[in-house]
Amino acid sequence: MNPRSEPLLWVQLVGLAAAPLELLLLFLILAGSDAGPFPLLERLLCFALGGLAPAVLLWRHPADPWSLLLLKTPVKGRRELQNRLSGLVHPLPLKLAQAAGVAALLPLLWILDSRAGLAADLSPLANSSRLVDLLLAAFLLSLVVWQWHQLLQAGWMLRRPVQQLAAGNLPQAEQTGHDLLSLGLPLLLPGSLQLIAASSPVAPEQQAEQQQGSDLDEQIP
């Protein structure tokens, strides 16, 4: 019952590599139109929709670790280990770290929007409406918030000791499904990873020395 055997937790860690591309896309989206007469209000509204609202929702209902937005593992098809991991109570330091990452998006959004005019010629939404750009930026921010929450959650779950998982009570799959925010179609059924214990094979030179030693022992009367 090792959490490191769950492939979806590792996939969520790999999702960190997509963050620079998402921020670049956010920069290009904001470059599609000029700032309106109230840029302060526009940025706060964009952050409230794309950052603050998802963060509040995920604080109350943590992200389902077996959901990848578009696809998820069906509740009734989950293994015992998956149910035990889903039933873990998220500690306050984990939630505070997730909230701190969301709060950092506000100054980041501010910087990107204030300098978005430098990439106006490269924007795929050139000469578009400011409202459309803000709504798309809010959607992209919500995606970043989801990935950030799953990243920290997956890292925390991968460090859970086996003894803690085995000692806890097995929660009901239906109960954990109501407590977590689970998005996607229930079509994802990955198998568990087969963890191989590390072994130290004998080097060929060591085998030769052992063979020579045994031959000498046989020759000595």
Lowest average pLDDT, out of 8-17, 66-75, 143-152, 186-195, goes to 186-195
**Alpha helix ranges (H) inside 31-71:** 39-47, 53-60
Higher-scoring residue by pLDDT: 219, 45: 45
Contacts of 64 (CB under 8 A, 6+ apart): 72, 86, 177, 180, 181, 182, 183
Helix (H) or strand (E) holding 87: none
Q: Residue 2, Cα to own-chain centre: how many angstroms?
A: 19
Q: What HEC string does 122-141 produce?
A: HCCCCCCCHHHHHHHHHHHH
Compute and round to an integer the Cα radius of gyration of the chain.
Answer: 25
For the chain, give every domain's residue range.
Answer: 3-219
Check pLDDT > 60 for residue 92: yes
Phi, psi of 76 (to 5 degrees): -75, -10
Which of 37, 59, 80 is CA-nearest to residue 170? 80
Residue type, 101: G
Q: Which two tokens stand for residue 213?
A: 């030693």
pTM here?
A: 0.83
C-alpha 105/C-alpha 127 separation (Å) is: 25
Average pLDDT in the 103-111 region?
96
Q: Which two tokens stand for residue 204?
A: 């060929």
Assign residue 69 a region: left if phi > 0, alpha if psi is -120 to 50, beta otherwise? left
| Residue 116 burial (CB count, 10 A) | 22
pLDDT at 201: 52
pLDDT at 20: 92
Note the pLDDT tens digit of each residue in 129-151. Answer: 999 999 999 999 999 999 999 99
| Residue 173 burial (CB count, 10 A) | 17
